[in-house]
């Protein structure tokens, strides 16, 4: 990604606004701004509480993205008159309900990859054709694991109820990519000087400071971890679930389009799941991309796989030193669910304009970077699918 215009994302709405109701739907195009930043600026400009504004999903900052917000209790004229730097108002219409996460049918992407030779086009086209036929590996992207790439280990420590390890990951282990003051504070924590570390932690690391303050005050790791927002704990545990899912997905490659007896199959039309009793009988539905093998987002109420797939899942838990029941994390229970190992790629096409231009649509919550990674394997690698 070199300029924001090289990465274009457009939200696909699940439904159209009806034209009446107390919420005003505002479709915008934003450049180089996060969804939450726009929400804050919109709330200030309209003089409404942030809670009055809804959205269907978070969109990339370093990109040109189109998405819709809903605002409760304003006039359409006020919406049309909005002036926010970096934001264009495209459409205003009324609807009866607030927009919430899940109210999107996915996203359309148009991405320009610069620095590629035009001779790479035929190989990229062959890979794209195969991805359309077999689906895209449904990996969680790196974003899922946080900017320190350790959200999964924080989650594992919570699942294992190991508060000392959790605090070491959260407050210690300086990384070269971090701001110097943060590195200094983490090094002090690692040296055992908690009070000096608390002094040194920069104000923008609010959560870390809150936990460390409690640790300095009480000396009790459990009470310190309790100072952490429950939503963050959920985020860490779900990052660990994602890490285990990625691990099992990697074991299924390159045959994620093939069902095995004992698999949990995911029905793409409605998200329902069932255990496959006869893989050969169900395979035609998988070939048509109507169903796919599904991996575990481990939790206490999850539908478990049988046979060989079930054995692989059990082996990963043993290897990690955890049991399903460990996902009953105090204050945050994880029921678990199944997630398809692959996803259908829609409306895909390739072109050339100062670089390789790839366009495609994906369901909500699927990472475009995964598709790009597959297409860029143009050095004779076959795609992972």
Q: Which residues are catalytic?
A: 60
SS3 state at 23: strand
Q: How far apart are alpha carbons 360 and 110 in whole angstroms?
A: 7
Would you list the DSSP string of 261-291?
TTPEEEETTT--EEE-S-HHHHHHHHHTTSE
Q: CB of 170 within 8 A of CB of 208?
A: yes
Q: How far apart are alpha carbons 133 and 289 in whole angstroms?
A: 8
- Whole-angstrom CA distances from 166 to 31, 34, 47, 224, 344 are 37, 29, 41, 11, 37
Of the CA atoms within 13 Å of residue 90, those in its CB half-sphere come to 12
Q: Which of 59, 57, 39 is nearest to 49 (CA)?
A: 39
Six-digit token pair at 368? 């475009």
SS3 state at 357: strand
Give the DSSP letter of residue 69. Answer: E
Q: How far apart are alpha carbons 160 and 166 in whole angstroms?
A: 10
Q: How far apart are alpha carbons 256 and 131 in whole angstroms?
A: 11
Q: The dihedral of CA 254, 259, 261, 265: what is its sign?
A: positive
Q: How far apart are alpha carbons 100 and 103 in whole angstroms?
A: 6
- 184's enclosing H/E stretch is helix 180-190
- How many Å separate Cα 102 from the centre of its chain? 13
**Ramachandran region of residue 88, left (φ > 0), alpha (ψ -120 to 50) or beta?**
beta
**β-bridge mates for residue 110, sequence order:** 8, 359
């Amino acid at each position: 990604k070199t300029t924001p215009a090289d990465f274009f994302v457009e939200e696909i709405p699940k439904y159209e606004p009806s034209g009446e109701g107390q919420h005003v739907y505002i479709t915008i195009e934003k450049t180089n701004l996060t969804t939450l930043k726009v929400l804050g600026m919109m709330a200030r400009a309209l003089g409404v509480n942030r809670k009055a504004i809804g959205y269907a999903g978070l969109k990339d900052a370093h990109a040109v993205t189109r998405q819709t917000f809903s605002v409760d209790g304003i006039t359409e004229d006020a919406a049309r008159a909005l002036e926010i730097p970096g934001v264009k108002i495209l459409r205003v219409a009324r609807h009866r309900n607030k927009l919430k996460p899940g109210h999107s049918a996915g996203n359309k992407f148009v991405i320009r990859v610069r620095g590629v030779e035009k001779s790479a086009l035929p190989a990229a086209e062959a890979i794209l054709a195969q991805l359309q036929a077999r689906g895209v590996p449904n990996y969680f992207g790196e974003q899922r694991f946080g900017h320190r790439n350790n959200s999964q280990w924080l989650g594992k420590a919570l699942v294992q109820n190991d508060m000392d390890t959790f605090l070491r990951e959260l407050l210690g282990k300086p990384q070269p990519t971090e701001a110097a003051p943060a590195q200094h504070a983490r090094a002090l924590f690692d040296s055992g000087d908690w009070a000096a570390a608390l002094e040194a932690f920069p104000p923008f690391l609010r959560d870390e400071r809150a936990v460390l303050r409690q640790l300095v005050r009480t000396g009790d790791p459990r009470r310190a971890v309790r100072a952490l927002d429950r939503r963050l704990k959920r985020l860490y545990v779900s990052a660990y679930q994602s890490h285990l899912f990625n691990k099992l997905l990697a074991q299924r490659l390159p045959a994620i389009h093939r069902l095995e007896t004992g698999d949990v199959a995911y029905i793409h039309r409605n998200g329902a799941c069932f255990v496959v009793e006869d893989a050969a009988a169900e395979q035609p539905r998988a070939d048509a991309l109507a169903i796919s093998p599904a991996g575990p987002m481990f939790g206490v109420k999850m539908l478990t796989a049988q046979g060989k797939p079930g054995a692989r899942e059990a082996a990963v838990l043993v290897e990690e030193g955890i049991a399903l029941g460990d996902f009953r994390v105090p204050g945050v229970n994880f029921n678990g669910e199944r997630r398809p190992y692959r996803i259908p790629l829609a409306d895909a096409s390739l072109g050339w304009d100062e670089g390789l231009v790839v366009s495609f649509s994906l369901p909500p919550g699927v990472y475009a970077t995964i598709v790009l990674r597959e297409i860029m394997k143009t050095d004779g690698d076959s795609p992972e699918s």
